[in-house]
């Protein structure tokens, strides 16, 4: 490549200092520079300019701006209302999350321990029912002959297990039957009714039926 004038070669200086000059132009530029002091000075000015520009103070983001950028980025990423709500919720609960979980666990452990310690021991004493009805202990063998209908009566038993009175609810009330019933009740002995384990008066319903045995 042959250059006609200095102004023509100077048009390549910009590319030349960047190393972007075509290979054939580089040789021509170098040849010209070896013989032209004015173009050499001009190239030095280009290089001095490049040095000045590259040596310019590099701006750094101030710390407060860096923080603002981070906040802005975070807000931008959570523009969605629901996401923003979740983030706020998370931010609100995060400081109390560990203390509250730890507190709840400790409270739970304490409750379990207290309940374990307060559980009553199993008693060896057998359970006593609150109330028991009177029960027959001795019933004298008296032939009542109640007839075809069954005889049902309510018997009032005192705390000593003796019959104090009785009342026929169903069945015939003949004088003979009444006499035999009086005899039976007089000699009968009951286990008295109990209330909280203590003997007390009570009632018992007795039912008699005539049973005929063939043979």
**Binding site residues, another protein, CB under 8 A:** 11, 14-15, 18, 20, 40-41, 43-62, 65-66, 68-70, 72-74, 76-77
Cβ 174 vs Cβ 142: under 8 Å: no
145, two tokens: 């002959």
Which residue, 11 or 147, is less far from another protein as judged by CB? 11
Among 187, 186, 154, smallest CA distance to 171 is for 154
Which residue, 83 or 104, is less far from another protein as judged by CB? 83
Which residue, 18 or 182, is less far from another protein as judged by CB? 18
Q: Residue written as tokens 């002091």?
A: 37
Tell me how far, at minimum, the Cβ of 101 lies from another protein, in Å. Answer: 25
Residue 59 CA: distances (Å) to CA of 50, 70, 150, 194: 18, 18, 118, 101
As to burial, measured by CB atoms within 10 angstroms (0-12 exposed, 13-18 middle, 19+ buried), residue 201 is middle
Which residue, 88 or 165, is less far from another protein as judged by CB? 88
Tell me how far, at minimum, the Cβ of 95 lies from another protein, in Å. Answer: 20
Tell me how far, at minimum, the Cβ of 99 lies from another protein, in Å. Answer: 26
Which residue, 70 or 165, is less far from another protein as judged by CB? 70
Tell me how far, at minimum, the Cβ of 23 lies from another protein, in Å. Answer: 16
Strand partners for 135: 191
Strand partners for 131: 195
Q: Provide the 3-class DSSP secondary structure of residue 140.
A: coil
Tell me how far, at minimum, the Cβ of 94 lies from another protein, in Å. Answer: 15
Which residue, 77 or 114, is less far from another protein as judged by CB? 77
Tell me how far, at minimum, the Cβ of 49 lies from another protein, in Å. Answer: 5
How large is the C-alpha radius of gyration of the chain?
60
């Amino acid at each position: 490549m042959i250059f006609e004038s200095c102004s023509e070669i100077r048009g390549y200086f910009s590319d030349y200092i960047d190393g972007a000059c075509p290979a054939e132009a580089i040789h021509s530029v170098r040849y010209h520079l070896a013989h032209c002091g004015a173009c050499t000075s001009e190239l030095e000015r280009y290089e001095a300019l490049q040095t000045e520009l590259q040596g310019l103070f590099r701006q750094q983001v101030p710390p407060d701006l860096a923080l603002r950028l981070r906040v802005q980025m975070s807000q931008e990423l959570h523009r969605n209302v629901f996401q923003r709500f979740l983030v706020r919720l998370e931010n609100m609960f995060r400081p109390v999350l560990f203390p509250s979980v730890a507190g709840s666990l400790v409270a739970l452990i304490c409750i379990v321990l207290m309940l374990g310690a307060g559980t009553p021991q199993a008693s060896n004493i057998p359970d006593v029912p609150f109330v028991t009805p009177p029960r027959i202990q001795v019933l004298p063998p008296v032939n009542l002959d109640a007839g075809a209908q069954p005889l049902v009566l309510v018997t009032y038993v005192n705390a000593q297990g003796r019959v104090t009175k009785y009342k026929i609810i169903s069945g015939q009330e003949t004088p003979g039957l009444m006499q035999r019933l009086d005899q039976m009740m007089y000699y009968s002995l009951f286990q008295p009714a109990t209330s909280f384990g203590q003997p007390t008066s009570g009632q018992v319903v007795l039912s008699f039926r005539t049973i005929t045995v063939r043979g």
